[in-house]
Chains A and B, each alone.
Chain A
């Protein structure tokens, strides 16, 4: 069942990018509980680039594993099937969108900075809440604004117009998108996520990170992203297209009721980690372009 206004979105966006077949295959495998580590490893190792990238990432300080992981099977059983899927999925998303659109390069980089900041923020909040899914929250943070990237690629003029609107009038990018495009990046993100068959948790978070209460049983996760998004705006990490704070949803905030000391702690943590990671990222990019284009290196 597709709501009316989403049909409109789909009609206007004919050419949503597609994920590589390997990633689709991996998603399918992970969705099947009977899949063994061997089955999954076979699909990954068939793709040498993917294999190299996976091993590099699982050995990065993001996971902080005390020893070296040298086989794909080892990585799967150590980190879990879901974690591997999320990892490969995220790298592929980055592949799809990075360096494809020269015109908006500057804005795009700011977007990714914002996404990275939000990912770090979500992870920090998740750790503070002792959540078991800090890694998923990180991925959700990275992908939450994926709809904006799509808009930028497919409807560059309209999107530019929307961005301009936020500068001329006191409205957020979310409102400007509605006015100019008739839909927002959350809806585009949702259509894309569904097309890609992303896990429903990710899809819901992408679709509802501005209104977490609508994310159903993933409302808590969506609220984490929502708050992380606002934290990043406060810290001025990257840009979401506008230079404005999205309105804070009281429902989402009341879930956590962080004290001001906790907020200070989280903001400092996010700021520090962001600069740590992005400086490593710059170095890694320069040193190894062929293997990685993803900012998960700690």
Chain B
């Protein structure tokens, strides 16, 4: 000002050229952010650019929490700014500033309310046509009157770029998660299909095995009643007979369990189901090192649901317990009727509680939250599919019950199942 018109036009022209250069730089920012970068990496690039554009005390990124519709602090540069900026933003939200800036979709400078004295806030809304992503708050000691048109424009453009890059990332991330979810579901279906076909095969094979087994058993019995048998031969025949019965027992159990799970529900006795599964495990020699401790109450009411599915849950829990105790241990199975209890307030007839406790290696705390996730397994060397507990979880959920876990490393794990008692 105070200069002749020509020189002021020239100065303006030069300034505009510089500004165009700056704009070009900003439009190239996108290239520095890969689509697979996360919010922190994106913020790092933009935070540096903001500090490049204007002298700042610090800047902070607030993002709208999905579903909550609340602004939460994600990053603060420097970190020490964190607490103060949070108070500042609370005040700004309370007085309606945030909503106003977001709605207007343009950068705005306001005096700080909490961060005093003489601090100015630059609010940069992160909005795109589709989303309200959040807000960047820049704290500066520059007097508001010294802010130039260029400052505001550059910051506004940075915010817009930042919003676009973040939106890209969020869309990409959402798509990636959805894709993973679909892959998992597809995998689960494949696994279920595989299990089902194994089941069908087993059912057929069991039948085929039982027939010749009957023939074997018949001839062994014939041999046993032959006269003139020496003691050794008698002993051999007895052993053969025992083992044939054992085979028949295993095959029978396999046959029962391999029948496809039906969604049909019926009234069943939990006691019978537990007995059946314990017997199945008893047949397996690799379970010989287990000490069984059964505490089944005799006042258990009849349950409504799918007994085969509940049996499958027990098989899963018992197998896990066995694998957790490679050097032997006690497997406690407890079933109690709690007539006064309720799961969601809808079970006036009470709840049956099943506890399956082992004295095994336990589960690490960081894994506890994930053990019901499909394909989560710690049995790297033992061919674990990571499907068992997720299947168990699904079955119990289908019965409107709950399944929870407690564990201590090297002391053992307890699974607790609650099932509502219903009238069939």
Contacts and interface: CB of A to CB of B under 8 A. Distances in A.
Contact of A32 (B110, B120, B145, B149): B149
Interface stretch (A12-20, A75-83, A106-114): A75-83
Contacts of B12: 28, 31-32, 34
Interface of A: 28, 30-41, 63-67, 73-74, 77-81, 83, 129-130, 132
Contacts of B120: 77
B149 A35 contact: yes
A35 B145 contact: no
B110 A78 contact: yes
B408 interface: no
Contacts of B15: 32-34
Nearest to A41: B145
27 contacts: A28-B12, A32-B8, A32-B12, A32-B15, A32-B16, A33-B16, A33-B149, A36-B146, A36-B147, A36-B149, A38-B146, A64-B100, A66-B96, A66-B97, A67-B95, A73-B145, A77-B108, A77-B144, A77-B152, A78-B109, A78-B110, A80-B106, A80-B107, A80-B152, A81-B152, A130-B105, A130-B129
A38 B100 CA distance: 24
A91 B93 CA distance: 32
Contacts of B201: none
Given A33-B153, A34-B148, A37-B147, 16 more contacts: A33-B18, A33-B148, A33-B150, A34-B149, A40-B149, A63-B104, A66-B95, A66-B99, A74-B144, A77-B109, A77-B144, A80-B106, A80-B107, A81-B149, A129-B129, A132-B105
A73 B149 contact: no
A31 B15 CA distance: 10
B236 interface: no
B interface, how many residues as a size bin? 20 to 34
A79 B149 contact: no
A65 B123 CA distance: 14
Nearest to B125: A132
Interface in B75-103: 95-97, 99-100
A73 B142 CA distance: 13
Contacts of A32: 8, 11-12, 15-16, 149
B219 interface: no
Nearest to A64: B100
B1 interface: yes
B19 interface: yes
B144 A28 contact: no
- A37, A79, A83: most-surrounded residue (chain B CB, <10 A): A37
Given A66-B95, A132-B105, A30 B149 contact: yes
A129 B96 CA distance: 24
Contacts of A41: 145
Contact of A36 (B100, B107, B145): B145
B129 A36 contact: no
A63 B106 CA distance: 12
A132 B146 contact: no
A134 B148 CA distance: 23
B8 A28 contact: yes
B23 to A, nearest CB: 10
Given A66-B95, A66-B97, A36 B108 contact: no
Interface in B14-67: 15-16, 18-19
Interface string B317-346: 000000000000000000000000000000
A134 to B, nearest CB: 8
Nearest to B105: A132
B136 to A, nearest CB: 16
A78 B108 contact: yes
A32 B13 CA distance: 8
A277 B111 CA distance: 31
A176 B421 CA distance: 86
B9 to A, nearest CB: 8
A-B residue pairs, 5 tightest by C-beta: A66-B96, A77-B109, A33-B150, A38-B145, A32-B12
Contacts of A39: 1
Nearest to B13: A32
- A63, A64, A83: most-surrounded residue (chain B CB, <10 A): A64
A35 B106 contact: no
Interface in B357-401: none
B243 to A, nearest CB: 78
Nearest to A38: B145
Given A78-B108, A80-B106, A34 B97 contact: no
A184 to B, nearest CB: 32
B161 to A, nearest CB: 14
B100 A66 contact: yes
Contacts of A28: 8, 12
Contacts of B148: 33-37
A67 B11 CA distance: 37
A35 B150 CA distance: 8
Contacts of B108: 77-80
